[in-house]
Structure 1
Amino acid sequence: MPSLKIVAELDSSSPYPSGTTPQDILTKGALDFVVSLHRTFNNRRKKLLETRVKRQVEIDGGKLPSFLEETKHIREDIAWQGPVPAPGLVDRRVEITGPPDRKMIVNAFNSNVTTYMTDFEDSMAPTWTNVIWGQANLYDAVRGQLDFVAKDTGKEYKVKDANTHFNGKLPTLIVRPRGWHMVEKHIVVDGEPISASIFDFGIFFYHNAKALIAKGHGPYFYLPKMEAYQEARLWNDIFNVAQDTLEIPRGTIRATVLIETLTGAFELEEIIYELRQHSSGLNCGRWDYMFSTIKKLRHYKDKVLPDRGDVTMTVPFMAAYVKYLIEVCHKRGVHAMGGMAAQIPIKGDEAANAAAMERVKADKLREATAGHDGTWVAHPALAHIATDIFGEYMPHPNQLFYRPELDKDGYLPVETGDLLNTQITGGKITEAGIRKNIYIGLNYMEAWLRGVGCVPIDWLMEDAATAEVSRAQLNQWVLHGVKTEDTDKVITAELNKDILAEETAKLLKTAKEGNKFELAAKYFLPEITGEKFSDFLTTLLYDELTAGESFGEILVEALKA
């Protein structure tokens, strides 16, 4: 049989009292499991990625996304339903998110929330260290052995007693693996990197599924960046094979799909249908959805969006997306989850902090009254705001009973044109908006290149999705030569290049030694001048991120059995 190699080494000693090490994660059994999944399904994954490219060519050529005729029978069949909510996923009113860093996991479990999504995707830079220690941290989290003392500060991190939490239980754990477009180059199978999605899912599932079931929950996942229902079908087939292999009943796995792509928004019912008994609903991944809308419609001048601050959840295409998602989820009996509140507390400025928290309240009020069954927060300090609002407007564990078309007078169904209506009254494109996009993009890319994927910038917790919005807007504005309204300048490649140089110079003045701002600017420049437009920043920067890691080949036979 063709060979498997691991092309990275990690320190075998554990810095944590649990003693769990990478060797406990990369066992022969676990690797055999993920490699079998990869060999079975990777060709389908690659073909689906090729289909994405072909579909984009069609969109660029004038064929705008629309509801599919081939799946009309699924949308029109009123009989089928998703499964009833799984244990631990009945009440999801407030979910907190963050990367699988041990400190963040402890803080998340201590937050007054119902569920916790740990993220291997947009908020984690996938260094080999981050990936494998992330899995080790989750292994310990599932087994209740997270507590530790930080060596650098001496601070103790300890998970509080479950009885102190909102519902007398620790938050339910949900894992987000990386998207179909990413690979994990540290594991090479038959001469090619393993699928990052399959690796993240498979390692976690192999080690933790039965332990989670024993605790009364199950292995639960968030699935990112799918662009078509066939991609959900692929996940469903992987779930079935994984459960059969470990002799776990089908339907034990539950997965919530982040609706983060424009094409995916036209296939909501089909995505739920493909996941069948594994579905636990859909989520409004608002920032990625905005990025995808710009990306997919980049060549359409009449679809150009204004400064990101003007693209709120109440503008036509975003409001239609929310309405349709809630309508579809409740029609099929699954959760419709709201989006992220990215604010973090502003220390030292009470007025600014109060204003920021009021924006959070308004956003969560909009979601609760629209019919969402829960929402996301990025910081524990926001949990009580979201909990209070959903507690007032959603007194039951969820509001799956709420159907917009039944409960609102004057209801109009969401049509294709609604999801494509990017006209924003009062929206402006400004030079200030250019500078903000460049500032955010530079700061995020620089941090990501240092191995940090979740970055506080101007009192907002930014991840890859918000950096992608910045990059896509800058590219689209140059492509169509739009004018700024505050300075009356045509946005050209030269203008963006000059502003990038200015913003980079400003940041370098106060940057710490060893920073990567110049490297970030090097990669950012061709993306914002129209010279190129990469599919994702994460894939663009991945080889650079891992270039400094020291590799040594270790045959799988040398690992702990």
Structure 2
Amino acid sequence: MDLGNFGYPTATEKTTVSYYDVPEGVDVRGRYDQEFAKILTKDALMFVAELQREFRNHIKYAFECRKEAKRRYNEGALPGFDAATKYIQEGDWVCAAPPPAIADRKVEITGPVERKMIINALNSGAKVFMADFEDAVSPSWENLMRGQVNLKDAVERRISFHDKARNRSYKLNDQTAKLFVRPRGWHLPEGHILIDGEPATGCLVDFGLYFYHNHATFRRTQGAGFGPFFYLPKMEHSREAKIWNSVFERAEEKAGIERGSIRATVLIETLPAVFQMNEILYELRDHSVGLNCGRWDYIFSYVKTFQAHPDRLLPDRVQVGMAQHFMKSYSDLLINTCHRRGVHAMGGMAAQIPIRDDPVANEAALELVRKDKLREVKAGHDGTWAAHPGLIQDCMKVFNNHMGNEPNQIHTKKREDAANITEEDLLQRPVGVRTMEGLRLNTRVGIQYVAAWLTGSGSVPLYNLMEDAATAEISRVQNWQWLKYEVELNGDGLGVRVNKELFGRVVEEEMARIEREVGKDKFSKRMYKEACKIFTRQCTASTLDDFLTLDAYNYIVVHHPRGSPSRL
């Protein structure tokens, strides 16, 4: 398997050995780079190490609790509201008021921390750009450290990019979107940085390095005295929000800034978390700016939570939209909870990509986006997400037409029907059919996404949609579930059952299709065969892995003891 040179000098290169200056107990195993060294300073690494040492036992306990919850669900239990925290659910408390700088979040664009992407997203006309270290990024050392360099340059407004192929230069406009940063989830390690002999927690590395280098400039130039701003992914319980709140308080104390300066939106993208929304906001009440419907990961989590429940099989993933009762209930309850607590309720992702060579198909796709955004704003959402700059204008028009000059809908009249959503509403079984095409699409998308991820891309355009780790996870766990229970494909008249023999044929045929679609040269150079092995192994495993990326991450960790030689 050829993963590239990753910084090793060739025999013809003259080298001198340079190392990162690290505090005691910290070992940086990633390739040395002079630009990275400006991020990985001794003081910045000390800040990350202090966070790791203070909170690692809390993180380990949270994961033990996750394992215990998983055991209960696998034995037949269902998630639900916690009777022990009823006083929080029924209390009249509110979160701190949203900072004026981000009162208006009608449209937010998301994407990886690539240099050109950052510039285009900040210039897109969106209110917010969420720079993503998580689902939209393959977390190689190069991507993560280059992303930190890029964000520092962006906060300081000196970021630029020259596209040699197009002979075009990019720089920031005078008016730009507000910057939010999404660190990795609690579950992902940073294998290139060891603290006291253990891999660092990925999200503490992402948060710590970004906060350390940018908090002062950000508060002055973007936050009007507040910030930095963050998105927090993959939580399952309020105890995980409590850890984040403590991290924020420690960072504010260390930086000498007011408590409540840091603000964060939590993605509700796991099924257990939907029953913890009040508690999550309560733990973060000095630092919260709301919740977001992370609907793709939410579908993934539904399957994962009910992996041992054969009566809760999903239909084809394209049929699991917001019209499904359990999905609509999730969105409505999120809106009601956020507005009751005085914070933003953000809508879900529009993943469509402009279809430039087919105006008719492009208009049809845009109309779907407009209808989805109209549904969101009418339901009460304060803003929404888009994956591509080409969608911003249409999304913004829908929200502006409905909301007028109001920056948000936080203080509009609460919907009584949403206040009465029950556990049964949130757990209602989805309806629909399962088809051979659904199995094929899952397989095709999953393999292509993993291939791109292994070669450094975490956000991948496939079939006119922007796919990230969330949609790859849906593909994986749905295939696994269908195989485990040998489901009947009942939607296309075939009446066949999914088993390993059928899946093997589908994989072979879809690999041939991928080769035809991408071309033989590209197919041979990219890691499609390795990706196929990983994805197939995950789909056919006897036990469902919690995350596809945890397995794949081992393929992109490249250790260089004490850093690698730098090139002259």
Please give the range of the TM-score, normalised by the shorter of the 2 chains: over 0.9
After TM superposition, give the deviation of residue 251 of structure 1 in Å.
Answer: 0.1
Aligned to 1:140: 153
Note if 1:113 corresponds to 2:118.
no
Q: Does 1:55 align with 2:69?
A: yes
Helix, strand or coil: the match of 1:545? coil
Q: Deviations over 1:121-149 (max 9, x none)?
A: 00000010100010000000000001231
Distance, in Å, in 2 between the alignment partners of 1:153 and 1:348 is: 19
What's 1:165 paired with? none
Question: Superposition pairs for residues 82-161 of structure 1, below 5 Å?
Answer: 82-161=95-174
- Determine if the alignment matches structure 1 residue 41 to structure 2 residue 55: yes
Check whether the contact 2:183–2:203 (CA below 8 A) recurs between aligned residues.
yes
- Rounded to whole Å, the distance in 2 between the matches of 1:550 and 1:47 is 28
TM-score by length of 1: 0.93
Q: Determine helix, strand or coil for the equivalent of 2:84.
A: coil
Alpha carbons 1:344, 1:459 under 8 Å: kept? yes
2:521 equivalent to 1:514: no
Q: Is 1:4 the equivalent of 2:26?
A: yes
Q: Which position in structure 1 is the counterpart of 2:498?
A: 491
Q: What CA distance in whole angstroms lies between the structure 2 residues aligned with 1:92 and 1:22?
A: 32
The number of residue pairs the alignment matches comes to 534
Q: 1:85-128 deviations in whole A, cap 9, x for unaligned?
A: 11321000000000110000010011011111000000000010
Of the three residues 215, 220, 232, the one matched with 1:214 is 220
Q: 1:449 to 1:8 in 2, by over 3 A?
A: same
- For residue 5 of structure 1, give the secondary structure of its aligned residue in structure 2: strand
Q: Does 1:353 align with 2:365?
A: no
The residue that corresponds to 2:16 in the other structure is none
> How is 1:153-172 mapped onto 2 (pairs within 5 angstroms)?
153-162=166-175, 170-172=176-178
- Inter-partner Cα distance in structure 1 for 2:458 and 2:100: 31
Helix, strand or coil at the partner of 2:243? helix
Identity %: 45
Q: Deviations over 1:365-401 (max 9, x none)?
A: 0001000000000000100011000001112100001
**Structure 2: distance between partners of 1:152 and 1:194:** 38
Is 1:343 aligned to residue 343 of structure 2? Answer: no
CA displacement 1:280-334 (0-9 Å, x = unmatched): 0000000000000111012112211100111111101100000100010001000
**Aligned runs of 1:431-510 on 2, under 5 Å?**
431-485=436-490, 486=492, 487-509=494-516, 510=519
Instruction: Measure the CA separation in 2 of the matches of 1:259 and 1:275.
Output: 14
Per-residue CA deviation, residues 241-279 of structure 1 (Å, 9 max, x unaligned), is: 111011111100001000000000000000000012100
Distance 1:22 1:541, change over 3 A: same
- Deviation at residue 46 of structure 1 after TM alignment: 1.6
Deviations 1:183-216 (A, max 9, x none): 1111101111000010000000000011111125
1:528 shift after superposition: 1.8
In structure 1, stretches of 5+ residues that fail to align are 13-20, 163-169
Per-residue deviation, 1:554: 3.9
Distance 2:418 2:159 in 1: 49
Superposed displacement of residue 62, structure 1: 1.4
Quote the residue 2:256 is aligned against: 247
Residue 150 of structure 1 and its aligned partner are, at CA, apart by: 2.9
1:233 matched to 2:242: yes
Aligned partner of residue 250 in structure 1, secondary structure: coil
Q: 1:411 to 1:24 in 2, by over 3 A?
A: closer
Which residue of the other structure, out of 416, 422, 446, is the alignment partner of 2:423?
416
Q: Which residue does the alignment assign to 2:302? A: 293
CA contact (8 A) 1:493 1:530 kept: no
AA aligned to 1:472 is V
Q: Look up the match of 1:192.
A: 198
The one-letter code sitting in structure 2 at the alignment partner of 1:110 is N
Q: Does 1:31 align with 2:45?
A: yes
Q: Assess if the C-alpha contact under 8 Å between 1:331 and 1:403 holds in 2.
A: no
Q: Aligned residue for 1:269?
A: 278
- Alpha-carbon distance, 1:155 to partner: 2.0
TM-score of the superposition, structure 2-length normalised? Answer: 0.92
Which residue identity lines up with residue 4 of structure 1 in the other structure?
V
Match of 1:368 among 347, 359, 377: 377
Unmatched segments (≥5 aa) in structure 2:
1-22
Mapping 1:268-347, distance limit 5 Å: 268-347=277-356
Cα pair distance change 1:282/1:5, threshold 3 Å: same
User: Partner of 1:230: helix, strand, or coil?
Assistant: helix
Q: Distance in 2 between matches of 1:403 and 1:372?
A: 13
1:423, CA displacement in angstroms?
3.2
Post-superposition shift, 1:230? 0.1
Q: Note if contact 2:329-2:418 (Cα within 8 Å) is conserved in structure 1.
A: no
Q: Contact conserved, 1:478 with 1:530, CA < 8 A, in 2? A: no
Q: For residues 18-61 of structure 1, what are the alpha-carbon distances to aligned partners after superposition, in whole Å with 9 as ceiling and x for unaligned?
A: xxx21111111101111111111112112211211111010111
- Whole-angstrom distance in 2 between the partners of 1:135 and 1:215: 18
Query: In the alignment, is residue 67 of structure 1 matched against residue 73 of structure 2?
Result: no
Distance in 2, matches of 1:77 and 1:109, equals 39
Equivalent residue in structure 1 for 2:545, among 508, 520, 534: 534
- Aligned equivalents of 1:126 and 1:530: distance in 2? 24
- Secondary structure at 2:525's aligned position in 1? coil
- SS of the equivalent of 1:277 reads coil
Aligned-pair CA distance for 1:411: 6.2
Let me know the Cα RMSD of the aligned residues: 1.6
- Which residue of structure 2 lines up, in the alignment, with residue 15 of structure 1? none
